[in-house]
Amino acid sequence: MPNQNSIGIAYTDQVINGGTIDNTVIGGTTKAAGSFTTVAATGAITTTGALSGTTVTSSAGFIMPSATVAAAGTNQATAAAIATGFTLVSAADATKGILLPAAAAGLTCVIKNNAAAVLKVWPASGDAINAIAVDSNYVLASLTSTLLVAYDSTTWYSVPLLAS
């Protein structure tokens, strides 16, 4: 908010450091439900509920969570669960795998198979990857990466990335 006071009057821009949104109009066009808080030291915003808008600006660039997971199990029920964001996977041996989170439109998982063997990528129960049958695994070649994007609540699609 710019300073609207006359010259010579002390003024400080308002800073929002937390609050709730209860389906009221914000900025004349957006309705939302949930709550938010900010971290003063970093400027990070944490939300519950949806945070949306036509423009999202970040001075820190695009940041996604990252994790390292060892492939495990031999089927959908015993594979190592991963979260959205970037996952570096070790221990793939052509039989072990990872389990994607349940599909929800717009979720993304970037997976890097850091092993010298193929990795089985399993969808959550009832989900599918590409045109592969529901509850069947997608095979990620050794030392390659893929971006998986959930199209809806049951289907993931892969965007292959270059070997690295």
Instruction: Say which CATH number the domain at 79 has.
Output: 2.60.120.640
If asked whether residues 93 and 33 sit together in one domain, one would say no
Specify whether 78 is located in the same domain as 28: no
115: which 2 tokens? 């092993």
DSSP letter, residue 125: T
Same structural domain for residues 147 and 73? yes
From residue 2, alpha-carbon distances to 6, 12, 14 in Å are 12, 9, 10
**Residue 21's pLDDT is what?**
54
> Are 73 and 27 members of one domain?
no
Judge whether 2 lies within some domain: no
What are residue 70's DSSP bridge partners?
Answer: 90
> How does the average pLDDT of the chain come out, rounded?
80
CA dist 123 and 76 (Å) reads: 7
23 and 98 part of one domain? no
Whether 80 and 90 have beta carbons less than 8 Å apart is answered as no
Taking residues 91-104, what's their average pLDDT? 97
For residues 52 and 45, what is the distance between their CA atoms, to the nearest angstrom? 13
User: Does the pLDDT value for residue 92 go beyond 70?
Assistant: yes
Query: Which pTM value belongs to this model?
Result: 0.67
Q: Are residues 47 and 72 in the same domain?
A: no
Do 31 and 99 sit in the same domain of this protein? no
Q: Are 63 and 51 in contact (CB under 8 A)?
A: no
For residue 4, being part of any structural domain is answered with no
Q: What tens digit of pLDDT does each residue of 24-55 get?
A: 545 544 445 555 555 555 556 666 666 565 55
Count how many domains the chain has.
Answer: 2
Whether 89 has a pLDDT exceeding 90, the answer reads yes
Ramachandran assignment for 29, one of left (phi > 0), alpha (psi -120 to 50 degrees), beta (any other) = alpha
The pLDDT of residue 115: 97
Query: By residue range, what is the domain housing residue 23?
Result: 14-59
**Does a structural domain hold residue 97?**
yes
pLDDT at 7: 58
Could you tell me which residue, 2 or 71, shows the higher pLDDT?
71
